[in-house]
């Protein structure tokens, strides 16, 4: 099953990622407000998935709207778009998806019914495209993977972070499907443990060899020659950097020091080449995520806490970016950003 699905009775079905791997609980979302809460609470997470989820949130507004005229429906959609934009600030896919659906709504000629239909159709199309794009990322990325490679990944950039197949894990999946005998090391990814809970879960389900390590073990493994390549996803690729789950920068610096290729796999909807890293809001999340592990307090009450959810990896640490169009080396990326101006 896909991570997110539209039902023709006006519901969106997804798996509650906060309960994995212990419980596989499907949730039904019936309004844009419910979609926004599910994104905020990270029941749905991962840049491409929250983009498609936002599109479906707008589709739910369109489906359930009692508006009789076009202007009223567009107003309701604008209100939903505002709500969705406030859920998480860093992954650009969220804003890209909202803008795309809203553009489709405004550009659709005709009355209320035509707009309603167009919005739902656009959201479904975006979900289908996501799967197609990820397959192409996998196809291009697998060329960089050799038989026997031991690949380190951080966070979860797999099926669960997308509609299906993943981005970083698309590269792993494609290489595996081609018969390359690869294995994966998954960083646990404190504080939310996406690596420990989600990456291991989905790779084990697919029968791809995976070993879980804590975040502070990556350097040791690299120094012992146990990692051949690093492949991660991204929440936003800006002119000078890749922004991804907190801890990615540390892994990139370690990889650079040890001469290990560091690849970023992400769709074009993650590119935000009008901006530099200075202009991006790094999400700060609830201190409880740091003071607690799965509801269990591990730090003294009242301790001061920092909880940035993402970090910034300067492009100089990135060997190449893999997108649906192919592999872009660091130098090619720099030329691309120079050409596209500021
Ligand atoms: O906070 P999350 O779990 O939404 O963060 C997810 C990541 O950082 C992923 O690596 C990124 O979104 C790429 S997912 C294909």
Which helix (DSSP H) or strand (DSSP E) does residue 24 occupy? none
> Ligand 1, from 15, 45, 322: best to mutate by most atoms within 8 Å of Cβ?
45
Helix (H, G, I), strand (E, B) or coil at 13: strand
**Distance between CA atoms of residues 54 and 236, nearest Å:** 17
pLDDT at 294: 85
Note the pTM of the prediction, 2 decimals: 0.97
pLDDT at 227: 98
Q: What tokens appear for 102 in the block?
A: 């809203």
pLDDT at 272: 98
pLDDT at 339: 84
Residues near ligand 1 (Cβ within 6 A)? 45-48, 91, 155, 157, 161-162, 167, 194, 233-235, 244-245, 309
Report the separation in Å between the CA atom of 50 and the middle of ligand 1, taken as the mean of its atom positions: 9
Tens digit of pLDDT at every position of the chain (342 positions): 899 999 999 999 999 999 999 999 999 999 999 999 999 999 999 999 999 999 999 999 999 999 999 999 999 999 999 999 999 999 999 999 999 999 999 999 999 999 999 999 999 999 999 999 999 999 999 999 999 999 999 999 999 999 999 999 999 999 999 999 999 999 999 999 999 999 999 999 999 999 999 999 999 999 999 999 999 999 999 999 999 999 999 999 999 999 999 999 999 999 999 999 999 999 999 999 999 998 899 999 999 999 999 999 999 999 999 999 999 999 999 999 988 765
pLDDT at 1: 83
Q: What is the number of the ligand 1 atom nearest to the C-alpha of 93?
A: 12
Q: What tokens appear for 16 in the block?
A: 């509650």
Report the separation in Å between the CA atom of 117 and the middle of ligand 1, taken as the mean of its atom positions: 30
Report the separation in Å between the CA atom of 70 and the middle of ligand 1, taken as the mean of its atom positions: 36
pLDDT at 71: 97
**Distance between CA atoms of residues 289 and 279, nearest Å:** 25
Ligand 1, atom 15, residue with closest C-alpha: 157
Q: Which residues contact 116 (CB under 8 A, 6 or more apart)?
A: 62, 63, 65, 73
pLDDT at 48: 98
> Quick check: 78 and 58 in contact, CB under 8 A?
no
pLDDT at 72: 98
CA distances from 233 to 36, 137, 154, 264, 304 (A): 23, 11, 8, 5, 30
* Residues designated catalytic: 235
Domains of the chain: 4-135 (1.20.120.420), 139-341 (3.40.50.10470)
pLDDT at 77: 98
Length of the chain in terms of residues written: 342
């Amino acid at each position: 099953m896909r991570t997110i699905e539209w039902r023709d009775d006006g519901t969106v079905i997804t798996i509650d990622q906060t309960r994995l791997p212990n419980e596989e609980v499907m949730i039904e979302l019936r309004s844009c407000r419910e979609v926004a809460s599910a994104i905020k609470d990270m029941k749905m997470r991962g840049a491409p998935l929250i983009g498609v989820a936002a599109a479906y949130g707008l589709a739910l507004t369109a489906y359930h709207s009692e508006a009789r005229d076009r202007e009223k429906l567009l107003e309701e959609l604008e209100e939903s778009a505002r709500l969705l934009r406030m859920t998480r600030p860093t992954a650009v896919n969220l804003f890209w998806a909202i803008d795309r659906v809203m553009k489709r709504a405004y550009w659709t000629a005709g009355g209320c019914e035509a707009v309603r239909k167009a919005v739902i159709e656009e959201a479904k199309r975006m979900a289908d495209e996501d799967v197609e794009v990820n397959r192409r990322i996998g196809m291009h990325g697998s060329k960089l993977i050799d038989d026997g490679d031991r690949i380190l990944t951080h966070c979860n950039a797999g099926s669960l972070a997308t509609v299906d197949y993943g981005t970083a894990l698309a590269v792993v999946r494609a290489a595996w499907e081609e018969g390359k005998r690869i294995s994966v090391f998954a960083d646990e990814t404190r504080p939310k443990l996406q690596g420990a809970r989600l990456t291991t879960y989905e790779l084990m389900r697919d029968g791809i060899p995976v070993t879980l390590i804590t975040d502070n073990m990556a350097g040791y493994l690299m120094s012992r020659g146990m990692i051949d390549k690093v492949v991660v996803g991204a929440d936003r690729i800006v002119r000078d950097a890749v922004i991804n789950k907190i801890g990615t920068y540390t892994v990139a610096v370690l990889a650079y020091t040890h001469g290990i290729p560091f690849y970023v796999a992400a769709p074009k909807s993650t590119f935000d080449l009008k901006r530099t890293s200075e202009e991006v809001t790094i999400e700060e999340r609830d201190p409880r995520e740091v003071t607690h592990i799965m509801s269990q307090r591990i730090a003294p009450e009242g301790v001061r806490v920092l909880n940035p959810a993402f970090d910034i990896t300067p492009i100089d640490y990135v060997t190449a970016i893999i997108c649906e169009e192919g592999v872009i080396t660091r130098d090619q990326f720099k030329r691309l950003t120079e050409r596209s101006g500021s």
